Amino acid sequence: MIRKHSKISIIGAGSVGASIAFSIATQKLVSEIVIIDVNKNKAEGEAMDISHGLVTMSAMDVHSGEYSEIVDSDVIVITAGLGRKPGESRLDLAAKNVGIAKDISANIMKYYNGGVIMVVANPVDVFTYVVQKETGLPANMVIGTGTSLDSARFRYLLSEKMGIDIRNIHGFIAGEHGDSQFAVWSSVHVAGMSLNSYCAKSGIVIDRNEIEKQVITSGSQVIQLKGATFYGIASITAQLCNTILKDKRSIYNISTLLDDYCGISGVCVSVPTVLGLEGAIKRIPFDFTGEEMDKLAGSARKLREFLDSLNI
């Protein structure tokens, strides 16, 4: 059950932050939403706009505020940062956004008294790593949305290909939320049947390389078409917040600082993780195939090399 007073603070009132706030409000997840942005007018306007629709939602306090108002938050969502431009990779953003991550972390820790910090801003794995290091909080309390959206895209593409309800298709994307991510094909099943068995019995042929390519390029395609992505990540972030608030202990592929996970340490990448009120409660020791394990190690190595190049 949600506690009597529940609160989510959102840092960043751009399209992503505003969409997350709206998604949380429409799902009636909390009793208070605080929107914080250096552009105070933008934050106030977004809060007012959402508040004007509360008659269709629930009684809650949606308002703009300062960093001091993150006190007593159950979740602090970070969306602030420079957006990715067409043709620009997520990692290209890192050097620009590291300074922003450090500044946000310092402001949070002036008032922080608990709650899970959830990083949405890209490049999310780098941003999550910097926030965890700068705040000094336990690794379980600082998470990134990681490949949770990529996993949703993966399941959507498979459902479209097979003509099956997405809720009956399970599988996930692991590694970096970026070019070195990979589909964990060994995890895919349809209503309890392995993908290979289902496709063989149904006469369906899946081009795995094409599906994986579409997942990796989905974000770029949306950016090319409309300039930014925000609805998909907003719905996923709201779902993650709901899981934390209700301590559901559901498993998601989120980015956290790993410590000897399949031999990987000192980097934030996405692996199956139990999520609840205390954040990343447990990383699931998934049975990756040898090829998948090589891809995970390679993705982690790529991010570690990039962090080293930034001296962080």
Instruction: Measure the CA–CA gap between 207 and 259, rounded to whole angstroms.
Output: 35
Question: Beta strand pairing status for 189-190 and 193-194?
Answer: antiparallel
Give the span between the Cα atoms of 295 and 301, in whole angstroms. Answer: 10
Residue type, 272: P
105 CB-contact burial (10 Å; exposed 0-12 / middle 13-18 / buried 19+):
buried
Alpha-carbon separation of residue 309 from 127, 222, 305 (angstroms): 15, 29, 6
Contact present, 273 and 253 (Cβ < 8 Å): yes
* Percentages of the chain per state (helix, strand, coil), in multiples of 5: 45, 20, 35
Burial profile 114-147: b = 16 or more Cβ within 10 angstroms, e = fewer:
ebbbbbbbbbbbbbbbbbbbbbebebbbbbbbbb
Instruction: Kindly state the tokens that stand for 4.
Output: 């009597």
Residues pairing with 34 in the sheet: 9, 63
Residues catalogued as catalytic: 177
